[in-house]
């Protein structure tokens, strides 16, 4: 639990994020980060952005830094994060850089790095970049070796071809489905309408123009931000509603009745489908995911593996153990047949395929057990986190405890995850049970136990 690296951390769970034109995310910062990235990557780099107003500014600065180290940059324009990842993987590049703040409010932006295999950058590589950044160990090319910059316009068509090639387009066409797509004015607007066209569904779009002012709604796919889509689906007789976050690595769905479907349900439904179509297989998800995922996988004859929280960890475990599917319950679904990363457009294509093959989404959902969750948190000084963890572990005994990430304690009628935050002086407590009351009761009792362990 203790931080091994003494260099101050820049990258969080999903890249570097900050408020634009403050010192945490201005041109100077982006240029210096670009120099550190180029020094580390040592080769040609794909660069892309989501739809934010600060994108061109930060991208230009970051590309200048990368070129200063002698690396060539290929600018993919406004694209979803998984589009950059697919381009890096398919074109034998040294890496990728995505200027995005995903689902954060419009005043934020960020930088996310991609490893040569197209996955989100491994933590140890981010640490190398942090080290170069803080020690200013930048490689400065001489005048003959400065990198070049070209536009790359194949990223989107290649990515769409990749998805279509791995989707049952014939089956989808026969089902004659009607779909409502809300791109939330994010980068998905440059991909998903074209994908739906290729899949042969009838579709209507909302907020499909990439626009950093986010005139439709903010870019996190919450129930609040899905209101217009829900109303639309209810009114219009659609088979499915699709909602992307700002960089379209995540997708949330609305069923044919206009019910917002939480991400644990779509994760379970996709996991079940992937297992059923292969007569089993391994599915990977973080310890925080609902038991409904495991239930769905077992119904379909598959097996489960749990990891620490964070999509890069899930993706790498999937690679190491030849998993057939994985993901997070925030709408981040990973289909390894295309690539080892969260992929919003692929998730949309697969959910359309699932409905085409198996019928109404609400009925598929009804076939999977449901649970209630409860989330809370409680303060704990950073220096006490290890001892609180040890005390709780001692009290519980090791039989019913999983220590993959924090403490996941299995009870007769549910489970609770007690996890120290990596960034704040708190423990996060997350429980699941058959009823809302019981889930709350479990979480509150462990909240009390953390407080007692500190006292
Ligand atoms: Mg995202």
DSSP 175-186: HT-EEEEE-TTS
The Cα–Cα gap between 66 and 45 comes to: 8
The whole-number average pLDDT for the span 127-139 is 97
Residue at a domain's end among 348, 366, 384: 366
CA of 330 to the centre of ligand 1 (A): 10
Q: Are 315 and 341 in contact (CB under 8 A)?
A: yes
Residue 37's pLDDT band (cuts 50, 70, 90): very high
Q: Is 445 a catalytic residue?
A: no
The whole-number average pLDDT for the span 376-391 is 94
Please tell me the predicted confidence (pLDDT) of residue 445: 96
CA of 10 to the centre of ligand 1 (A): 18
Rg (C-alpha) for the chain, rounded Å, is 22
- 88 plus 48 within the same structural domain: yes
Q: Which of 102, 192, 290, 431 is catalytic?
A: 102
Tokens of 386: 């290890």
Which three-class secondary structure state does DSSP give residue 37?
helix
pLDDT of 34 > 90? The answer is: yes
Asked, for residue 259, whether it belongs to a domain, the answer is yes
Please tell me the predicted confidence (pLDDT) of residue 13: 78
pLDDT of 128 > 60? The answer is: yes
| Choice among 107-121, 163-177, 412-426 with the minimum mean pLDDT | 412-426
The Cα–Cα gap between 423 and 403 comes to: 19
What is the percentage of the chain residues whose pLDDT exceeds 90? 94
- 232 plus 92 within the same structural domain: no
- 319 plus 439 within the same structural domain: no
- 146 plus 210 within the same structural domain: no
CA of 118 to the centre of ligand 1 (A): 16
- Residue 421: CB atoms within 10 A of its CB come to 14
Q: CB burial class (10 A; 0-12, 13-18, 19+) of residue 321? A: exposed
CA atoms within 13 A on the CB side of 244: 39
Please tell me the predicted confidence (pLDDT) of residue 1: 42
Question: Which helix (DSSP H) or strand (DSSP E) does residue 283 occupy?
Answer: strand 282-286
The Cα–Cα gap between 226 and 368 comes to: 23
CA of 25 to the centre of ligand 1 (A): 18
Please tell me the predicted confidence (pLDDT) of residue 5: 55
- 293 plus 415 within the same structural domain: no
Residue 398's pLDDT band (cuts 50, 70, 90): confident
- Decide which of 397 and 96 is more confident: 96
The whole-number average pLDDT for the span 219-243 is 96
Angle at 123 between CA 36 and CA 347, to 5 degrees: 110
Q: Which domain holds residue 393?
A: 372-454
Please tell me the predicted confidence (pLDDT) of residue 371: 97
CA of 342 to the centre of ligand 1 (A): 8
Residue 317's pLDDT band (cuts 50, 70, 90): very high
The whole-number average pLDDT for the span 220-228 is 97
The whole-number average pLDDT for the span 325-336 is 97
Tokens of 197: 């066209």
The whole-number average pLDDT for the span 410-416 is 95
CA of 117 to the centre of ligand 1 (A): 19
The whole-number average pLDDT for the span 384-409 is 92
- 283 plus 180 within the same structural domain: yes
pLDDT of 424 > 90? The answer is: no
CA of 247 to the centre of ligand 1 (A): 5
Residue with tokens 């970049």: 129
Residue at a domain's end among 314, 333, 366: 366
pLDDT of 4 > 60? The answer is: no
| Cβ-proximal residues to 228 (8 Å cutoff; 6+ apart), any chain | 182, 206, 216, 217
- 278 plus 392 within the same structural domain: no
Domains held by the chain: number: 3
| Cβ-proximal residues to 105 (8 Å cutoff; 6+ apart), any chain | 218
pTM over 0.85: yes
The mean predicted confidence, pLDDT, of the chain is 96
Tens digits of residue pLDDT in 198-215: 999 999 999 999 999 999
Please tell me the predicted confidence (pLDDT) of residue 433: 98
CA of 186 to the centre of ligand 1 (A): 10
Closest listed residue to residue 431, CA positions, set 407, 454, 395: 407
Q: How far is CA 67 from CA 41, 45, 121, 210, in A?
A: 11, 10, 20, 27
The whole-number average pLDDT for the span 102-111 is 95
The whole-number average pLDDT for the span 354-361 is 98
- 253 plus 361 within the same structural domain: yes
- 227 plus 171 within the same structural domain: yes
pLDDT of 124 > 70? The answer is: yes
Tokens of 413: 């009628």
Please tell me the predicted confidence (pLDDT) of residue 3: 46
The Cα–Cα gap between 193 and 183 comes to: 9
């Amino acid at each position: 639990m203790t931080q091994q690296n003494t260099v101050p951390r820049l990258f969080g769970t999903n890249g570097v994020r900050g408020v634009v034109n403050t010192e945490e995310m201005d041109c100077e910062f982006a240029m210096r980060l670009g120099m550190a990235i180029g020094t580390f990557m040592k080769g040609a780099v794909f660069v892309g952005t989501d739809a934010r107003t600060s994108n061109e500014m930060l991208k230009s600065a970051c590309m200048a830094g990368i070129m200063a180290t002698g690396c060539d940059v290929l600018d993919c324009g406004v694209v979803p994060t998984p589009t950059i990842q697919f381009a890096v993987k398919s074109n034998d590049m040294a890496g990728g850089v995505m200027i995005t703040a995903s689902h954060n409010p419009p005043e934020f932006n960020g930088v996310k790095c991609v490893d040569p295999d197209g996955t989100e950058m491994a933590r140890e590589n981010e640490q190398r970049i942090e080290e170069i950044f803080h020690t200013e160990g930048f490689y400065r090319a001489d005048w003959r070796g400065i990198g070049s910059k070209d536009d790359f316009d194949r990223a989107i068509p290649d990515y769409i071809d990749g998805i279509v090639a791995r989707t049952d387009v014939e089956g989808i066409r026969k089902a004659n489905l009607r779909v409502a797509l809300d791109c939330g004015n994010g980068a998905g607007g440059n991909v998903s309408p074209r994908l739906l066209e290729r899949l042969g569904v009838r579709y209507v779009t909302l907020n499909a123009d990439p626009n950093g002012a986010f005139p439709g709604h903010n870019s996190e796919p919450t129930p609040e931000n899905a209101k217009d889509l829900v109303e639309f689906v209810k009114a219009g007789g659609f088979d499915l509603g699709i909602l992307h976050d700002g960089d379209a690595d995540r997708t949330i769905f609305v069923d044919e009745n206009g019910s917002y479907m939480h991400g644990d349900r779509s994760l379970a439904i996709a996991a079940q489908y992937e297992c059923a179509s292969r007569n089993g297989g391994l599915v990977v998800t973080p310890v925080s995911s609902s038991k409904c995922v495991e239930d769905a996988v077992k119904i379909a004859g598959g097996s489960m593996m749990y990891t620490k929280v964070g999509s890069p960890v899930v993706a790498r475990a999937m690679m190491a153990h030849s998993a057939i599917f994985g993901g997070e319950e925030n709408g981040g679904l990973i289909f390894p047949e295309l690539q080892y990363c969260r992929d919003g457009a692929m998730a949309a294509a697969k959910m359309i395929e699932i409905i085409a093959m198996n019928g109404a989404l609400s009925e598929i959902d009804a076939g999977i057990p449901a649970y209630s969750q409860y989330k809370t948190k409680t303060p704990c000084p950073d220096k006490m986190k290890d001892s609180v963890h040890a005390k709780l572990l001692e009290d519980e005994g090791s039989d019913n405890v999983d220590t993959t990430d924090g403490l996941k304690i299995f009870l007769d009628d549910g489970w609770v995850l007690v996890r120290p935050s990596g960034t704040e002086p708190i423990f996060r407590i997350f429980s699941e049970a058959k009823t809302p009351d019981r889930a709350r009761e479990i979480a509150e009792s462990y909240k009390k136990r953390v407080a007692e362990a500190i006292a």
